[in-house]
Amino acid sequence: MQPRGQQFGNDCQKMNDALGQPLFICANIYRGSSYGPMHPLRIPRASTVMDLCRALDWLPAHQFVTSPRAKPAALAVYHTPDYIAAVQRAEETQSVSPEDRAKYHIGTPSNPVFPEMFRRPATSAGGALLAGELLRGGGVVFSPAGGTHHAFADRAGGFCYFNDPVLAILSLRRNGARRVAYVDIDAHHPDGVEAAFARDPDVLMISTHEAGRWPRTGALTDCGVGQVYNLPVPRELNDDEMALIRDEVILPIVQSFAPDAIVLQCGSDALTEDPQSRLCLSNNAHVEVVRGLMPLAPRYLVLGGGGYNPWSVGRCWTRVWATLNGFPEPQTLPEPARNVLRALRWEGQRRVKTPPSDWVDTLVDAPRGGAIRDDIRTMIRALQARARTWV
């Protein structure tokens, strides 16, 4: 008899093969779970995307997969057993010893103790591991609660306790994908993912992130011995600059790498409205990266990531799901979808009592184009030259 989890994965694989439609992995643990009343992750994100997609009739039951919670043994394919045990212990006791805080970076303002501090990240990790199984025969999976790219094997970092992008890549490789391209358009550099794969020639990593922003890694010259491309972009990056990066760096390098699978971390904190960066993208930029990567590999996993304005992150990731399915987007949202957005609250240090109408009435941002700066062109040329030496 197969283990229950394996049978569940096989059943979902059969469903994906039969329907040929993208699958949406999520869970209700994100509904009402918060890192605390003053933490940037106090806002609803994955639950907003689920609710918006259902309000638009874009999430039928046969495309929704409930994310399992990864057990410690599954997490240990990357994370150290002592670190996993420390996170479990902190959830159970709702406290952290000074020794564990110093060693594992938990119980800090960035990585606080909260009621679901093991179960919540273990659920996004379980979704990542399951995605690798679901994509064994090809297909598309969206996991908006994923994208926790700052966690290391033995410690937390940047709101991230377990590194689900790393776990997803490992799962994809266990399930037949030899070469995996990881693309990250979050405003913050994926230091945890780079640490895991910088020396692996069969994992391509391309990251666009704001220069000088935490964790202050990912310099243009950081490339390891594997295929690592970092683009530390300047403040106020606009849609036209991102389009040039997409067309001159991301898409051609991924295509030349010829991956068996692509993992896209689609953090929405690079949007103008987000408080955690100074980049100026519209959600059109994200949609075009999602669309451009779709034909470049038979397996495609799209993760969430950063995003700290509840309206912009919910609208952006709902558009991502629409793009993966080819759904036509309404110019004006129907009343059920607007009600989802009207019900959002953003309280704490930053309060928005009455959101602008375009945060409620439509999913589509106005384009945010602009001039293409010389330093962007210089970075692109440097990465193109590096790519020619690796192809």
User: Which are the catalytic amino acids?
Assistant: 150
Widest CA span of the chain, in angstroms?
A: 61
Cα dihedral 381, 383, 388, 391 sign: negative
The closest alpha carbon to 271, from 317, 312, 230, belongs to: 312
Phi–psi pair at 275, nearest 5 degrees: -80, -10
Q: Give the number of other Cβ atoms within 10 Å of residue 87's Cβ.
A: 26
For residue 347, give both structure tokens.
Answer: 């309280």
DSSP states along 87-156: HHHHHHHT---HHHHHHH--SSSSS---TTTTHHHHHHHHHHHHHHHHTTT-EEEEETT---TT-BTTB-
Angle at CA 241, nearest 5°, toward 259 and 197? Answer: 35
Residue linked to tokens 């150290």: 80
The closest alpha carbon to 293, from 152, 171, 182, 147, belongs to: 182
Residue linked to tokens 């010389």: 374
Q: Give the number of other Cβ atoms within 10 Å of residue 222's Cβ.
A: 16
User: Are the C-beta atoms of residues 140 and 189 closer than 8 Å to each other?
Assistant: no
For residue 34, give both structure tokens.
Answer: 């918060």
57 burial level (CB within 10 Å; 0-12, 13-18, 19+): exposed
Phi–psi pair at 303, nearest 5 degrees: -110, 160
Q: How far apart are CA 253 and CA 292, in angstroms?
A: 12
Helices and strands in the chain: count of H runs, count of E runs: 15, 8
**Residue 187, SS3?**
coil
